[in-house]
């Protein structure tokens, strides 16, 4: 093996180790966030249990919801992806994307909302994919209509398609974060129990009367 090949092998090994460390850091961030959310759920549920009043919503969060937690995880994920692109680190990019996809759904589960967790996963998978694909198609059509013939041979429509697709995908990511925090992370409405209508006729000196519980 010559010197160049050895140096390339060492660089590849260093990059692999760096990616592994990045993924370990992402796993640590997810674990810390999960522990913090679990601690918040436990502390919020303790006063209700001590007061002897049953919580109709199970592990339903407090009046303010827990949207800040999901937004914080998404911001950390975006920072990891941005740092990965800046440092040309695939490990950071993959770790940030994994945190964006699974961080908020884990928080929903920690708050006792498995249905919301699956909704969050579906939104995070489908919304950016559909928006990016639609933007790519619109950008390509726009490029074909506006690019000069010489520019078309240089890939002008494709550049428009990629640009519009990326912008549409990023817009969908931000929208998902906002919807997740303002809608899915809001507390569930309290359950109400209906009282059955009970009516019974009784005899009185003046005739009959109807009494009941409404």
| Residue 199 resides in a domain | no
Token digits for 44?
A: 């919020």
Q: Burial level of 95, CB count in 10 A (0-12/13-18/19+)? A: buried
Beta strands in 29-182 (DSSP E): none
The DSSP symbol for 62 reads: -
Q: Burial level of 101, CB count in 10 A (0-12/13-18/19+)? A: middle
**Measured distance CA(52)–CA(27) in Å, rounded:** 38
pLDDT score of 204: 60
pLDDT score of 38: 43
| Residue 205 resides in a domain | no
pLDDT per residue rounded down to tens, the chain (214 residues): 455 554 544 454 444 455 445 445 445 444 445 444 444 443 444 444 333 343 444 344 444 589 999 999 999 999 999 999 999 999 999 999 999 999 999 999 999 999 999 999 999 999 999 999 999 999 989 988 888 887 877 788 889 899 999 999 999 999 999 999 999 988 766 665 555 555 556 656 665 555 555 5
What is the tally of structural domains in the chain? 1
Q: What's the domain range around 34?
A: 3-50+58-187
| Residue 209 resides in a domain | no
Contacts of residue 154, defined as CB under 8 A and 6 or more positions apart, other chains included, come to: none
| Residue 99 resides in a domain | yes
Q: Burial level of 5, CB count in 10 A (0-12/13-18/19+)? A: exposed
pLDDT score of 62: 44
| Residue 212 resides in a domain | no
pLDDT score of 154: 74
Contacts of residue 4, defined as CB under 8 A and 6 or more positions apart, other chains included, come to: none
pLDDT score of 12: 46
> Contact 30/99 with Cβ under 8 angstroms?
yes
Nearest alpha carbon to residue 21 among 86, 87, 95: 95
| Residue 15 resides in a domain | yes
| Residue 213 resides in a domain | no
pLDDT score of 63: 46
pLDDT score of 72: 96
| Residue 45 resides in a domain | yes
């Amino acid at each position: 093996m010559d010197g160049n090949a050895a140096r390339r092998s060492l660089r590849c090994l260093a990059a692999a180790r760096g990616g592994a460390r990045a993924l370990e850091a992402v796993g640590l961030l997810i674990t810390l966030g999960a522990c913090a959310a679990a601690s918040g759920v436990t502390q919020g549920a303790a006063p209700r249990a001590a007061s002897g009043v049953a919580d109709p919503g199970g592990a339903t969060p407090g009046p303010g919801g827990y949207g800040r937690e999901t937004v914080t995880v998404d911001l950390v994920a975006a920072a990891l992806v941005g740092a990965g692109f800046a440092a040309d680190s695939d490990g950071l990019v993959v770790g940030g994307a994994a945190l964006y996809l699974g961080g908020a759904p884990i928080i929903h589960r920690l708050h006792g909302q498995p249905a919301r967790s699956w909704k969050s996963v579906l939104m995070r998978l489908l919304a950016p994919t559909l928006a990016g694909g639609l933007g790519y198609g619109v950008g390509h059509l726009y490029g074909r209509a506006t690019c000069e013939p010489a520019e078309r041979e240089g890939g002008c429509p494709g550049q428009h398609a990629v640009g519009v697709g990326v912008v549409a995908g990023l817009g969908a990511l931000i929208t998902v974060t906002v919807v997740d925090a303002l809608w899915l992370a809001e507390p569930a409405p309290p359950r109400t129990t209906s009282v059955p209508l009970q009516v019974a006729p009784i005899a009185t000196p003046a005739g009959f009367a109807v009494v009941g519980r409404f």
